[in-house]
Structure 1
């Protein structure tokens, strides 16, 4: 029997869906729909017709390096449920790293409350924004491919029908595709779910509608959970403080949260909880064998782990696009300060005399120099065993100054060996290899990044390793046949950037933060030392 709430959703979906289809037929759709249609068609035409070929080709590529790969997603099964079991659920939203932060908070909270975490899949594709609880729940119910199974059986040379226009633009994957859930299960009980509806809980957990308590959020940062009742940590951007004891008193079998996004939203300030947070972060390191194999091969071509400098530049969306000039300029000058001896005049020369323009994001922006960041690895976090030799190659001084502006056009290095050759009398000394992970399209021709390539002759991006990325071409979600390449490329980018002797990221980027706080410490062997928000000391 469907709940009244669910019936209303179905009626609403039917009405809206009918209207959209009529508008599509009458007017040909909006520009956004047209773009989505073109993207879906491109992915549709790229999809392998036989998924078994996908698995076979990836297996062949990995076998060359002694690796193994199982392209079959894990079977979904709900374990035996006790009548006394209690659960915790939440609603995922936004991009991959925001979902990862939600998961981190959910894992902490499930452990604190001794509840089983109902873990939704990862949503990959255009990010679903945060919405108030009821609206987000509604959107997630509509984000389904049930009833559209015919879409992936349409021949690649045939046009997609209206209902399939967005089919290939997004997909979902279990978190076990990327992380070791078995290790996490040693501390937190987890049940994966591919359906966030209430009906799924009723059907699989043996509960009724009255067994669910909804903690509906109306702003993105409604509350912050404090695990230590004596903590005087400020609530910051959150609207109110929620002490753990308040949630522990809840008796409903299911606590249904909305968003749990926010770094350190669930505090871990007691020693036991801080150890748990550290364990979670140490465990949530990518362990997909295909991604590991690709990242290792690229790092090897760059000279090996710990022999190059990793950078992450996020410039392609939201506030990062607005602040792109400033963030790029900050990172550029940090690199120049740390690994060159260029004078102010030389810096102005090599960056093309555009510094003042690069400090602006709009007409109201006050041009100012923000305090220089310290690269983790340069006075910050560093692996001393690998940094010395790598830095030495890029710190040779006193090269003669050249004023020939034609030398700005530094040729593209075709491989890591050629980048070590002389390009001009001044910059040939700056041979520290630099790997830039970025969402900027065509980095070597992107105006935002030209100053990097002008100044440093040994810069590489993922575009320089086309052959090594080949296995990604064959990774397809076996459930809906959606190619995974475009969703996995940013993860490979992060892994390669994290394998350097030091790392420099984009401020406020959850992507960069993940590399700096988790991937780099693990890959470099320095380990994750401090986590969470320290409890203020009492006077």
Structure 2
């Protein structure tokens, strides 16, 4: 009998004689895996942004690259349609209009069809399901405010989420995720376990309590309430966006809801100018604002309102409103600006550096990272060539650390000092970033300023008492990059989109804004 046969015989006997022993082995194995997963062995350093699920994991043979961190982007890698079977709807009726975009869009004209008719008396509302990461939620916020303004509907505004996020899914699935998992209701007792390092002491229902947090948007953007008042906007901010909550707080009947259930990431594109020739782009159907306003239902509930350019603002009045709205969305949350300003002072002040954002970690950005980095380098050269000749791009001085860079950097070197916000760490040892460092050796990153982040240690969210440091650090990174004398971002990144808008407010004092896919200026 061979050794293998002998082992199989022993294992068969063991299974027959000791079923409880086998069960114990399995339980011990599974428990060990869980403990390893929950332990700090796999945890990132304390200041890393919270773990989020990217669209794709970056594939690279470069073993020197650090673990990728989540950024914010147009989720270009999300499939156009989601083919998993829909769960049985609950808590709301099925809409008569549109189980998917195919039921709404004329295939010949691409016109998006909505119901019309006499409207019942009473206040009208817009609601929507939030999804994906912070900057995707911010784009949805912009679109929702625009549409509420156009239609004079009250906006039922969900809180902003940091850390945990729901990926886009068709309406019924996304609705369930938002109602069931985006709440800390009934978890008040979990607050006393915040910071507990021994996971076995933490109740099971509290073990993910610290992974995510939420707050009203106006806690982050403190100028929003004044903006709402000045513009005559009615906004109801709520963590609960269930149909039951809306009915209870508005008096709207269940049959007076109209749902946008497109089943695709980019469904309707709403045009404010009927004469517009702007193409649909990635969107599936054209919906005229005038026709949207004829929807009689008191509540219009969107599966998703996310997407740059989804709600057009081509009419002059609407462009002006959009610009006022953008200017009201500067970050005022405690600690963010003071911390960013400390880093900026260390860099020599706003006029002493240029900011860039390099997104490389997942999905579309992983596949196009080399091209995106090349494009950023070329745009930086556009800004800096007047200051120096190309032969001066590689100085003999060692700039392998930010300290060396700052110590040796002077205006007389004619070499730009650059602050790079990015979704990777240890960039100096990563081959991916080599072209950037070869062209512009004097690059500072957030890793170089860890001691200056200490002010964030004491900041706690009033909503759930969570320490906010790990959630605020990406915002600090963004603000530092945005306040540079010039800014160059990654095309189609919503992080770059916001940083560029902030740059134009902080540095250029621009009064008008337009959406763009390329962020440089």
What TM-score does the superposition give when structure 2 sets the normalisation length? 0.71
Matched, 1:506 2:495: no
Counterpart of 1:97 in structure 2 is: 135
Distance 1:289 1:296, change over 3 A: same
Q: Kindly tell me: are residues 527 and 162 of structure 1, through their superposed partners in 2, closer, same or farther at Cα, counting changes over 3 Å?
A: same
The 1:39/1:173 distance shift into structure 2, 3 A limit, reads farther
Write out per-residue CA displacement over residues 122-180 of structure 1, whole angstroms, 9 at most, x where no aligned residue: 11114321100111001111212223332232372432333233221111111112112
Contact kept in structure 2, 1:221 and 1:238, CA below 8 Å = yes
Aligned to 2:408: 419
Offset, 1:329: 3.5
C-alpha change, 1:529 and 1:157, in structure 2 (3 Å) is: closer
Q: Say which SS state the counterpart of residue 350 (structure 2) adopts.
A: coil
* Alpha-carbon RMSD: 3.2
Q: Are 2:402 and 2:448, in contact at CA under 8 Å, matched by a contact in 1?
A: no
Pairs within 5 Å for 1:119-518: 119-143=157-181, 144-154=183-193, 156-159=196-199, 160-179=202-221, 180-185=223-228, 186-187=230-231, 188-335=233-380, 339=384, 392=387, 395=388, 410-414=399-403, 417-420=406-409, 429-516=413-500, 518=501
Distance of aligned partners of 1:273 and 1:329 in 2 relative to their CA distance in 1, 3 Å threshold? closer
CA–CA distance in structure 2, aligned partners of residues 330 and 445 of structure 1 = 21
Question: How far did residue 505 of structure 1 move?
Answer: 0.9
**Residue 37 (structure 1) aligned with residue 16 (structure 2):** no
> How far apart in 1 are the matches of 2:450 and 2:513?
37
SS at match of 2:352: coil
Distance 1:473 1:323, change over 3 A: farther
Shift of 1:307: 2.4
Task: Report the 3-state secondary structure (helix = DSSP H, G, I; strand = E; otherwise coil) of the residue aligned with 1:330.
Answer: helix
Report the Cα offset of residue 446 of structure 1.
Answer: 2.9
Distance 1:93 1:40 in 2: 30
CA shift, 1:466, in A, is: 1.8
Partner in structure 2 of residue 520 of structure 1: 503
Question: Cα–Cα, structure 1 residues 95 and 398, in superposed 2: closer, same or farther, change >3 Å?
Answer: closer
| Corresponding position of 2:89 | none
In structure 2, do the counterparts of structure 1 residues 454 and 401 end up closer, same or farther at CA, with 3 Å as the change threshold?
Answer: closer
C-alpha distance 329-236 of structure 1, shift in aligned 2 (>3 A): closer
Report if aligned partners of 1:40, 1:168 keep a CA contact under 8 Å in 2. Answer: no
Q: How many residues align?
A: 411
Q: CA deviation at 1:448?
A: 2.1
1:224–1:240 contact (8 Å) kept in structure 2: yes
Q: 1:150 to 1:270 in 2, by over 3 A?
A: same
CA contact (8 A) 2:335 2:459 kept: no
Q: CA deviation at 1:435?
A: 0.6
Separation (CA, whole Å) in 2 of partners of 1:44 and 1:493: 16
Cα pair distance change 1:339/1:147, threshold 3 Å:
same
List per-residue Cα deviations over 1:85-126 (Å, max 9, x = no partner). 221101100111111110111001111111110110011114
Would the alpha carbon gap of residues 89 and 429 (structure 1) be closer, same or farther in structure 2, given more than 3 Å must change?
A: same
Alpha-carbon distance in 2 for matches of 1:527, 1:511:
19
| Structure 1 Cα separation of the partners of residues 393 and 254 of structure 2 | 77
Contact 1:43 1:168 in 2 (8 A): no
In the alignment, structure 1 segments of 5+ residues that lack a partner are 1-23, 47-82, 341-390, 423-427, 534-539
Is 1:224–1:265's contact at 8 Å kept on the other side of the alignment?
yes
Q: How does 1:45-124 map to 2 (within 5 A)?
A: 84-124=122-162
Query: Aligned equivalents of 2:291 and 2:37: distance in 1?
Result: 45
Q: CA 1:29/1:252 → structure 2, altered by over 3 Å: closer, same or farther?
A: farther
CA contact (8 A) 1:213 1:255 kept: yes
Q: Is the 8 A contact 2:394 2:439 kept in 1?
A: no
Unaligned runs of 5+ in 2: 1-25, 48-120, 517-521
Q: For the residues of structure 2 that align with 1:415 and 1:29, how far apart are their CA atoms? A: 48
Report the Cα distance in structure 1 between the residues aligned to 2:37 and 2:245, rounded to whole angstroms: 30
CA contact (8 A) 1:96 1:122 kept: yes
Per-residue CA deviations over 1:439-485 (Å, capped at 9, x if unaligned) read 11223333322444455343211122222211122222233233322
8 A Cα contact 2:394 2:441, kept in partner: no
Closer/same/farther in 2, CA of residues 119 and 196 from structure 1, 3 Å limit: same
**Which residue of structure 1 lines up, in the alignment, with residue 68 of structure 2?**
none
Deviations 1:55-111 (A, max 9, x none): xxxxxxxxxxxxxxxxxxxxxxxxxxxx82221101100111111110111001111
Distance 1:526 1:532 in 2: 17
Cα distance in structure 1, aligned partners of 2:429 and 2:508: 35
The residue number in structure 1 matching 2:512 is 529
